């Protein structure tokens, strides 16, 4: 995720929330970092947030000994968001030192180029890379080029990576697949990364609908589709699942959204899935999985997989006609 502006020289702000060492003494540091990632995901939902990142000893150029969360926002919102970070931290068992800074340059632009990297998914099936990183001879043939932009979704967060691995798994028949998908619905499309990945993986997809409540996300998805030469295969719209003309349903439905939406909208989301086809839910912390699964599991919807990364999981359902 990243902060965006059309101005070359503009004021912007960062919030730095650093773990208090006592917060993770006596426990696996990875557990504390996973909880910090969970906090990052919740904070990222705030429309005043332009981007979030976590840093730790393994981070590329910006490694730090004590894990920390960086929130990018505007000067006007920095005080309220700092208070929100401080209030949310104890609910995840985190003790944080929270500070903030206001900046008056565009140094964040080059910062993102050092933070992002190419990634490979599906045991060498799909390459995801920023435009400034060139391909290498060993890279997978199938690729999506996507840069940090105005909407969430660059493949670095566990919830996105889980979806990409599931999509590649469907292609590689890791699940019971009767036929390749002909249509796809991407709910909460963000940057459009999942729609674009599916378009690359499945030549059979000729009807891809990407939906996000944020008009900025729909615009960004269209831009990324054009960048990848996929504009003619994808339609991005601003709205919700209730705005869709479902017809007979979609062969593949992916909803990378938090449970506060997945659970109340379960009936509407299940109605989008065609018989014998797949529904992939993500954006779910592992301790939320059972509650989300309960909202979707019926004799008609069978849970076939629940892959995990860190503290995050995805739920893969297949609709089996009653």
Rounded to 10 degrees, the C-alpha dihedral 21/24/27/30 comes to -110
Helix axes 78-88, 29-44, angle to 10 degrees: 140
In the numeric block, which tokens belong to residue 294?
């309960």
Is 131 part of a structural domain of the chain? no
Is 187 part of a structural domain of the chain? yes
Question: Contact, 20 vs 96, CB < 8 A?
Answer: yes
Question: Contact, 296 vs 315, CB < 8 A?
Answer: yes
Q: Which domain holds residue 306?
A: 151-319
Closest CA to 213 of 175, 180, 248, 242: 242
* Same structural domain, 101 and 242: no
- CA–CA separation, 55 vs 30, rounded Å? 12
- CA–CA separation, 280 vs 282, rounded Å? 7
In the numeric block, which tokens belong to residue 64?
């730090």
Mean pLDDT of 50-78: 77
According to the model, what pLDDT value does residue 27 have?
55
Q: Which of 81, 111, 141 is the last residue of a domain?
A: 111
**Confidence check: pLDDT of 64 > 80:** no
Is 4 part of a structural domain of the chain? no
* Same structural domain, 90 and 173: no
How many of the other CB atoms lie within 10 Å of CB of 90? 10
How many of the other CB atoms lie within 10 Å of CB of 307? 18
Is 7 part of a structural domain of the chain? no
Q: How far is CA 90 from CA 35, 95, 209, 291, in A?
A: 11, 6, 39, 22
Q: Hey, which of 132-136, 180-184, 238-242 has the most confident mean pLDDT?
A: 180-184
How many of the other CB atoms lie within 10 Å of CB of 237? 16
Which helix (H) or strand (E) element contains residue 207? Answer: strand 207-212
Rounded to 10 degrees, the C-alpha dihedral 228/229/231/233 comes to -100
Mean pLDDT of 13-29: 75
Q: How far is CA 87 from CA 42, 264, 265, in A?
A: 12, 25, 27
**pLDDT tens digit string along 224-271?**
999 999 999 999 999 988 888 777 889 999 999 999 999 999 999 999
**pLDDT tens digit string along 79-112?**
999 999 999 999 888 999 999 988 887 665 565 5
State the pLDDT confidence band at 184, using cuts at 50, 70 and 90: very high
How many of the other CB atoms lie within 10 Å of CB of 109? 14
* Same structural domain, 98 and 226: no
In the numeric block, which tokens belong to residue 254?
């992916």
In the numeric block, which tokens belong to residue 178?
């009767």
Q: What is the percent of the chain with per-residue pLDDT over 70, rounded to a whole number? A: 85
* Same structural domain, 97 and 166: no
* Same structural domain, 250 and 177: yes
* Same structural domain, 181 and 74: no
* Same structural domain, 179 and 311: yes
Is 5 part of a structural domain of the chain? no
* Same structural domain, 38 and 171: no
* Same structural domain, 59 and 185: no
According to the model, what pLDDT value does residue 236 have?
94
**Confidence check: pLDDT of 10 > 50:** yes
According to the model, what pLDDT value does residue 126 have?
94
Distance of CA 287 to the CA centre of its chain: 18
Is 253 part of a structural domain of the chain? yes
* Same structural domain, 184 and 76: no
Quick check: pTM over 0.85?
A: no
Question: Contact, 278 vs 316, CB < 8 A?
Answer: yes
* Same structural domain, 74 and 202: no
**pLDDT tens digit string along 287-318?**
999 999 999 999 999 999 999 988 899 999 99
Q: Which of 54, 88, 111 is the last residue of a domain?
A: 111
Is 146 part of a structural domain of the chain? no
SS3 21: helix
State the pLDDT confidence band at 25, using cuts at 50, 70 and 90: low
Closest CA to 41 of 265, 259, 307: 259
Q: Hey, which of 12-21, 111-120, 284-293 has the most confident mean pLDDT?
A: 284-293
**Confidence check: pLDDT of 16 > 70:** yes
According to the model, what pLDDT value does residue 188 have?
92
Is 135 part of a structural domain of the chain? no
According to the model, what pLDDT value does residue 8 have?
41
Q: What is the tally of structural domains in the chain? A: 2
* Same structural domain, 270 and 184: yes
Q: Which of 93, 111, 129 is the last residue of a domain?
A: 111
Domain CATH number, residue 256: 3.40.50.150
**pLDDT tens digit string along 186-202?**
999 988 999 999 999 99
**Confidence check: pLDDT of 20 > 90:** no
According to the model, what pLDDT value does residue 38 have?
85
């Amino acid at each position: 995720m990243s902060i965006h502006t059309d101005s070359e020289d503009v004021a912007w702000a960062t919030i730095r929330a650093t773990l208090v060492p006592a917060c993770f003494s006596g426990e696996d540091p990875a557990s504390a970092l996973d909880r910090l990632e969970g906090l990052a995901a919740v904070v990222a939902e705030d429309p005043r947030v332009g981007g979030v990142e976590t840093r730790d000893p393994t981070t590329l150029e910006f490694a730090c000994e004590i894990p920390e969360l960086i929130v990018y926002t505007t000067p006007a919102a920095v005080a309220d968001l700092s208070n929100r970070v401080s209030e949310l931290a104890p609910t995840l068992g985190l003790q944080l030192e929270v500070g903030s800074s206001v900046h008056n340059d565009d140094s964040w632009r080059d910062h993102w180029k050092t933070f992002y990297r190419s990634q490979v998914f599906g045991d060498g099936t799909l390459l995801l890379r920023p435009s400034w990183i060139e391909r290498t001879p060993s890279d997978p043939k199938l690729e999506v080029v996507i840069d940090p932009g105005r909407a969430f979704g660059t493949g670095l967060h566990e919830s996105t990576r889980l979806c990409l691995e599931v999509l590649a798994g469907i292609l590689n028949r890791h699940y019971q697949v009767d036929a390749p998908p002909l249509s796809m619905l991407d709910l909460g499309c963000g940057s459009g990364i999942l729609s674009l990945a599916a378009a690359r993986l499945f030549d059979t997809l000729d009807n891809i609908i990407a939906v996000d409540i944020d008009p900025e996300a729909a615009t960004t998805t269209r831009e990324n589709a054009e960048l990848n030469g996929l504009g003619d295969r994808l339609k991005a719209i601003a709205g919700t699942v209730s705005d869709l003309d479902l017809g007979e349903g979609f062969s593949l439905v992916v909803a990378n959204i938090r449970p506060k939406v997945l659970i109340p909208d379960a009936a509407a989301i299940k109605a989008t899935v065609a018989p014998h086809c797949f529904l992939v839910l993500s954006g779910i912390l592992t301790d939320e999985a059972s509650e989300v699964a309960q909202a979707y599991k019926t004799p008609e919807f069978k849970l076939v997989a629940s892959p995990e990364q860190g503290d995050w999981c995805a739920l893969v359902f297949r609709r089996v006609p009653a």
